[in-house]
Amino acid sequence: MTPVSSKQYADDVSLLMVLIDTNPLFWSSSAAPLSFSKFLSQVLSFLNSILLLNQLNQVMVIATGLNSCDYIYDSSKGPTSQRVESLLQKLEEFVVKDEELNKDDSVDGIGSSLLSGSLSMALCSIQRIFRSGSLHPQPRILCMHGSQDGPGQYVAIMNSIFSAQRSMVPIDSCVIGSQHSAFLQQASYITGGVYLKPQHLDGLFQYLTTVFATDLHSRSFLQLPKPVGVDFRASCFCHKNTIDMGYICSVCLSIFCKHHKKCSTCGSAFGQPQTVSTSNQKRKAP
Amino acid sequence: MSNYGNGKRKPVNEEEDDEDDDGNERDTEAWEKAYADERSWESLQEDESGLLRPIDNQALHHAQYRRRLRSLSSASAASRIQKGLIRYLYLVIDLSRAAGEMDLRPSRMVVVAKQVEAFVREFFDQNPLSQIGLVVIKDGVAQCLTDLGGSPESHIKALMGKLGCSGEASLQNALELVHEQLNQIPSYGHREVIILYSALSTCDPGDVMETILKCKKSKIRCSVIGLSAELYICKYLCQETGGLYSVALDEAHLKDLILEHAPPPPAIAEFAIANLIKMGFPQRAAEGVISICSCHKEAKFGGGYICPRCKARVCELPTECRICGLTLVSSPHLARSYHHLFPVTPFDDVAPSLAPNQHRRPKNCFGCQHSLLNPGNIPVHCVTCPKCKQFFCLDCDIYIHESLHNCPGCESLRDSKSVD
Ligand SMILES: [Zn+2]
Ligand SMILES: [Zn+2]
Ligand SMILES: [Zn+2]
Ligand SMILES: [Zn+2]
C-alpha cells in the first residue's frame, strides 16, 4: 500500500463501511425475499463497482451475526488487485463460528443480529481513519439489514448513532426484511444518511448503485429518497408499548406509561405527578 | 537570529512586529517576550539520566484520561445510578473592568466568551432536558442576559452581542439575582450556578455571607472558575454550597475546567426531589400540510411536530407546548442521557511485556483492527475490557469511553446482553 501522504485525496474519495446481516435464522425464514447467495452476488458486484469508481476508494465489510461480529474484508489490506470476492472465504469461516457460538435454540422468531456491535466496530475504525491525518477518504456506513430490531440493543445503538452524528459520519440503511426498522430509520435521520427499503429485491444491485454508490460530495446534487415519517415516539419501559404521552422519572429518565409509586430502574420513590411547566412563572408575550 | 547583542534596538521580525504596539510592556525585550509567551521549556521533561526530552504527549494524554476515568467511576460507584440529569444552570460571566485584562489573548472576556460558547453546545449535547440562563456582572450590578432556556443558539447570540467590560464586579448582586430566578424552578430540578470570575474584589451592597447562606438553604450548587488568583470569598461560597472552585492557569486549562461541568454531577438525594414528569412525544407533522405554528404565530408549510394533548404545532423539540404547557421531547433526546446511567466499565491495563502468545493476546485491536505490535514485533501498551476480555488500542480506549459509550466487544456477544 502506498503511504497516505503520496495519495491525492479529493472530496470524492470514499471509505465505505458495509455491515452485512448474516443472521441464518433471517435468511432461512420466509421474511427473506431472496436467497443469501443471490443477495451476496449483487452486493459483491456493487462493492467491486465502488472500488472501480475511484482507485483510492476503500471498502471494509463487517459481518453482523447472531452471536458475534467480525471484520471480513478490507480493501486496503492485501494485494491491490484483490477483488471483493476474496471475502467469501472469511465470511464462510465467520458463519460457521457464529453458529458454533449459538448455545440455546430458544430464540423466538428470527431473532435480531448484533447491529450495535458491528456499528461500534465500524465507528472505531472510522476514528482511526480520522486520526490518520488531514488527508483521508470520506467515511460513511451502509447497513444492509434484514433481522428485526432487538429491544435490548436500544441504548447501545442510540449511543452509536450520537457518536456518528458528532463525527459527521452518515449511516445509510438498506432494509431487506419485510418490516421497517425503527432503529435504522432513526440512525439515518439523525446522521443525515439515506434510508431505503427496496420494493423489488431482484433488482437490489440497481437500488444500490443508484442510491448508495455516490460519494458524499456529489450527493447534494442528487434527488435521493427523503425520509417519510420517522417515528420518534418512545416505548415505555414497563410494557414496551409505544406511547405518545407518558411519565418520565426525573432521576434516571426512564419512561412509564402510567403513574408508579417507585421507579423500577433507579428505585426513587415519587410524589404526585407534575408537569415541567411552572405555572407560577409568568408566560411572556413575544 | 541576527539581533542578539544589539542592546535596545528592536529586532526586525514579522511575527513580533505587531506585538510592539502593546504599549504597556515596553520594559521587556521582544526576544524575552517570545520566550515568555511560548513557554517552550514546558514541553520538555527530564529522563532518568538527566537529559532533556520532549514530552511524550500521547502517553501523557492517555495517563491523564485514565486518571479522570478512574475518579469518575469511583464517584459514580459510591452514588450508584443517581445523577442530576435535569439541571437548571445559570452561567454568570464577570464583565467588570478586570475582564479586559490581556493576560489571556486577546483579552479575558473574548477567551471566556469563546469557551462559554463551546460549553453551552457541549452542555446541551450531554443534558438535552436541561436549561441554561446567562447573567453578566458589570458596573457593580448583575443583569439577566437570557432567561432559562434550552436553545444553545439564542444564548450564544445574546452573549456575543453584549461583549464589553466596565466597572466593578459584585458577587452578592449576581447571587441574589440567580437565587431569585432559581427559586421558581420545579423541585425535581438540580439548581446550579457557574461563575466565571475575573475580578479580584467584590463590590457589594450588603452582607455577602447572608446571601451565601440563602443559596445554601435553597440547595443551589455554586461553582466558581477564577481567571486571576484564588479569592477566599469564592472558595468559601463553593465549600458551603457543595460546588467546585478552581483558578485557570491558561486558556487550555480554562477550557478543561469549564467542560468539567458539562456531564451531570452526582445527584445528592436531598437536593432534588424525585418525581414523575408528564411528557409528550409528538409525531412529525405530515409533509405538505399548512398549519399555524404556536411558537412563531405564523402559517408554516410542512414539517414541525404536533402536541399529542392539544394538537398545536411546534417547530422544534425539546420545548414546552405554548398552549397546554406539556413538555414535548423526542425519544432520542432522552436516549442522549442514558449513557450517563450505563457507563462503560474502565478497561484494565495490559503490561506491554506480556508476550503475544501468552494470555492469548491478539495481534490486532478488536475495535479498529490496528496492529497491537510495533514494527519490531514488540507488543505496544494496550488495554482489555474486564467483561468481554477483548483487547483494545489506547486510541480506541479513549474513543469508547469519551464518545461512543459502548464496548464493541461486549456488544458483539449475545451473552452479555442479559447483564445490561
Ligand atoms: Zn428512575
Ligand atoms: Zn399542547
Ligand atoms: Zn483500536
Ligand atoms: Zn467489553
Domain harbouring A174, CATH code: 3.40.50.410
Q: A151 and A61, same structural domain?
A: yes
Secondary structure of residue B303 in the 3-state scheme: coil
Give the pLDDT confidence of A254-267 residue by residue, as tens digits.
888 888 888 887 77
Residues 99-128 of B with CB under 8 A from A: 125
Among the three residues A170, A189, A219, which one is the final residue of a domain in this structure? A219
Closest partner CB to B184 (pick from A120, A123, A278): A278
Distance CA B398, CA B280 (A): 36
Q: A178 and A41, same structural domain?
A: yes
What is the average per-residue pLDDT within A174-188? 90
Q: Do A233 and B369 touch (CB under 8 A)?
A: no
* pLDDT higher at A118 or A282: A118
Instruction: Give the model's confidence band at A149: pLDDT under 50 very low, under 70 low, under 90 confident, else very high.
Output: confident
Instruction: Give the model's confidence band at B407: pLDDT under 50 very low, under 70 low, under 90 confident, else very high.
Output: very high
Instruction: Say if A201 falls within a structural domain.
Output: yes
Could you say which ligand is closest to the alpha carbon of residue B295?
2
Distance CA A115, CA A121 (A): 10
Secondary structure element (H or E) that encloses residue B391, with its range: strand B391-392
pLDDT higher than 70, residue B68: no
What is the average per-residue pLDDT within A139-167? 91
* Interval between CA B325 and ligand 1 midpoint (Å): 23
User: Looking at beta carbons, which residues of chain A come within 8 Å of B383?
Assistant: none
Percent of chain A with pLDDT over 70: 87
pLDDT higher than 50, residue B405: yes
Distance CA A62, CA A117 (A): 10
* Interval between CA B306 and ligand 2 midpoint (Å): 8
Q: Do B81 and A265 touch (CB under 8 A)?
A: yes
User: Looking at beta carbons, which residues of chain A come within 8 Å of B275?
Assistant: 250, 270-274
The mean of the pLDDT values for chain B is 80
Closest partner CB to A66 (pick from B276, B309, B414): B414
Secondary structure element (H or E) that encloses residue B72, with its range: helix B57-78
Interface predicted TM-score of the whole assembly (ipTM), two decimals: 0.86
pLDDT of residue A8: 62
Q: A251 and A197, same structural domain?
A: no
pLDDT higher than 70, residue A98: yes
Q: A105 and A207, same structural domain?
A: yes
Hunting for cell 459584585 — which residue is that?
Answer: B170
Instruction: Give the model's confidence band at B67: pLDDT under 50 very low, under 70 low, under 90 confident, else very high.
Output: low
* Interval between CA A194 and ligand 3 midpoint (Å): 28
pLDDT of residue B7: 42
Distance from CA of A64 to the nearest CA of B (A): 9
Q: A244 and A201, same structural domain?
A: no
Contact with chain B for residue A108, Cβ under 8 A: no
What is the average per-residue pLDDT within A36-40? 93
Q: A95 and A188, same structural domain?
A: yes
Distance from CA of B145 to the nearest CA of A (A): 16
Distance CA A75, CA A77 (A): 5
Question: Which residues contact residue A198 at a Cβ distance below 8 angstroms, ignoring those fewer than 6 apart?
Answer: A174, A175, A176, A204, A207
Q: A139 and A261, same structural domain?
A: no
Contact with chain A for residue B82, Cβ under 8 A: yes
Size of interface A-B (CB pairs under 8 A): 223
Instruction: Give the model's confidence band at A131: pLDDT under 50 very low, under 70 low, under 90 confident, else very high.
Output: confident
Closest partner CB to A232 (pick from B273, B287, B331): B331
User: Looking at beta carbons, which residues of chain B come within 8 Å of A131?
Assistant: 395
* Candidates B275, B317, B326, partner chain A, best to mutate (most A CBs within 10 A): B275
pLDDT higher than 60, residue B15: no
Backbone angles phi, psi at B79, to 5 degrees: -100, 10
The mean of the pLDDT values for chain A is 84
Q: A153 and A22, same structural domain?
A: yes
User: Looking at beta carbons, which residues of chain B come within 8 Å of A278?
Assistant: 184-186
User: Looking at beta carbons, which residues of chain A come within 8 Å of B278?
Assistant: 245-248, 273-275
Secondary structure element (H or E) that encloses residue A130, with its range: helix A115-131
What is the average per-residue pLDDT within B51-80? 62
Give the pLDDT confidence of B207-242 residue by residue, as tens digits.
999 999 999 999 899 999 999 899 999 999 999 998
A65: closest chain B residue by CA: B412
DSSP annotation of B364: B
Cα first-last separation, chain A: 62
Closest partner CB to B335 (pick from A116, A117, A155): A155
Question: Which residues contact residue B38 at a Cβ distance below 8 angstroms, ignoring those fewer than 6 apart?
Answer: none
pLDDT higher than 70, residue B267: no
User: Looking at beta carbons, which residues of chain B come within 8 Å of A265?
Assistant: 81, 341
Secondary structure of residue A21 in the 3-state scheme: strand
Contact with chain A for residue B39, Cβ under 8 A: no
The residue range of the domain holding A83 is: 10-219
Measuring CA to CA, which residue among B57, B56, B13 is closest to residue B33?
A: B13
Closest partner CB to B320 (pick from A246, A253, A276): A276
Percent of chain B with pLDDT over 90: 32
pLDDT of residue A30: 83
* Interval between CA B352 and ligand 3 midpoint (Å): 16
Number of domains chain A is built from: 2
What is the average per-residue pLDDT within A243-252? 85
pLDDT higher than 90, residue B246: yes
The one-letter amino acid at B57: N
Q: Do A153 and B411 touch (CB under 8 A)?
A: yes
A63: closest chain B residue by CA: B412
pLDDT higher than 50, residue B21: no
Instruction: Give the model's confidence band at B1: pLDDT under 50 very low, under 70 low, under 90 confident, else very high.
Output: very low
Contact with chain A for residue B289, Cβ under 8 A: no
What is the average per-residue pLDDT within A195-201? 91
Q: A263 and A130, same structural domain?
A: no
Q: A270 and A138, same structural domain?
A: no
Percent of chain B with pLDDT over 70: 75
Instruction: Give the model's confidence band at A269: pLDDT under 50 very low, under 70 low, under 90 confident, else very high.
Output: confident
User: Looking at beta carbons, which residues of chain B come within 8 Å of A120?
Assistant: 367, 400, 404, 406-408, 411-412
Contact with chain A for residue B35, Cβ under 8 A: no
* pLDDT higher at B109 or A242: B109
Question: Which residues contact residue B301 at a Cβ distance below 8 angstroms, ignoring those fewer than 6 apart?
Answer: B288, B289, B290
Give the pLDDT confidence of B286-328 residue by residue, as tens digits.
666 777 887 777 777 777 888 888 888 888 777 888 888 888 8
SS percent in chain A: helix, strand, coil, step 5: 35, 20, 45
The one-letter amino acid at A5: S
Instruction: Say if A227 falls within a structural domain.
Output: no
Residues 124-183 of A with CB under 8 A from B: 124-125, 127-128, 131, 150, 152-156, 158-163, 166-167
Q: A127 and A242, same structural domain?
A: no
pLDDT of residue B75: 53
Cα first-last separation, chain B: 63
Cell of B125: 449535547
What is the average per-residue pLDDT within B191-199? 93
Asked if residue B145 lies in contact with residue B134, where contact means CB atoms within 8 angstroms, the answer is yes
* Interval between CA B408 and ligand 4 midpoint (Å): 6
Instruction: Say if A4 falls within a structural domain.
Output: no
pLDDT higher than 80, residue B415: no
Q: Do A268 and B274 touch (CB under 8 A)?
A: yes
Cell of B103: 493576560
What is the average per-residue pLDDT within B340-354? 78
Instruction: Say if A5 falls within a structural domain.
Output: no
Question: Which residues contact residue A142 at a Cβ distance below 8 angstroms, ignoring those fewer than 6 apart?
Answer: A16, A17, A18, A19, A172, A173, A174, A212
Alpha helix stretches (DSSP H) within A152-263? 154-166, 182-191, 204-207, 216-219
pLDDT of residue B85: 79
pLDDT of residue A167: 92
Closest partner CB to B406 (pick from A120, A166, A246): A120
Kindly report the CA angle at A182 between A178 and A187, in degrees rounded to 5? 120
What is the average per-residue pLDDT within B139-162? 88
Instruction: Say if A99 falls within a structural domain.
Output: yes
* Interval between CA B297 and ligand 2 midpoint (Å): 14
Alpha helix stretches (DSSP H) within B200-356? 208-217, 232-241, 251-259, 331-335, 338-341
Instruction: Say if A161 falls within a structural domain.
Output: yes
pLDDT higher than 70, residue A279: no
Pairing of strands B391-392, B313-314: unpaired
Tell me the pTM.
0.78
Among the three residues A163, A187, A219, which one is the final residue of a domain in this structure? A219
Q: Do A270 and B276 touch (CB under 8 A)?
A: yes
Give the pLDDT confidence of A51-82 residue by residue, as tens digits.
999 888 999 999 999 989 999 999 888 776 66
Measuring CA to CA, which residue among A50, A215, A234, A264 is closest to residue A151?
A: A234
The verdict on whether omega for the bond into residue B106 sits within 30 degrees of 0, i.e. cis, is yes
Instruction: Give the model's confidence band at A286: pLDDT under 50 very low, under 70 low, under 90 confident, else very high.
Output: very low
Among the three residues A219, A246, A272, which one is the final residue of a domain in this structure? A219
Instruction: Say if A1 falls within a structural domain.
Output: no
Range of lowest pLDDT (A2-16, A87-101, A133-147, B23-37):
B23-37
Question: Which residues contact residue B234 at a Cβ distance below 8 angstroms, ignoring those fewer than 6 apart?
Answer: B171, B195, B197, B224, B226, B245
Q: A254 and A180, same structural domain?
A: no
* Interval between CA B325 and ligand 2 midpoint (Å): 6
Asked if residue A251 lies in contact with residue A266, where contact means CB atoms within 8 angstroms, the answer is yes
Buried b (16+ CB within 10 A) or exposed e, A34-72: eebeebbebbbebbeebbebeebbbbbbbbbbbbbbbbb
Could you say which ligand is closest to the alpha carbon of residue B408?
4
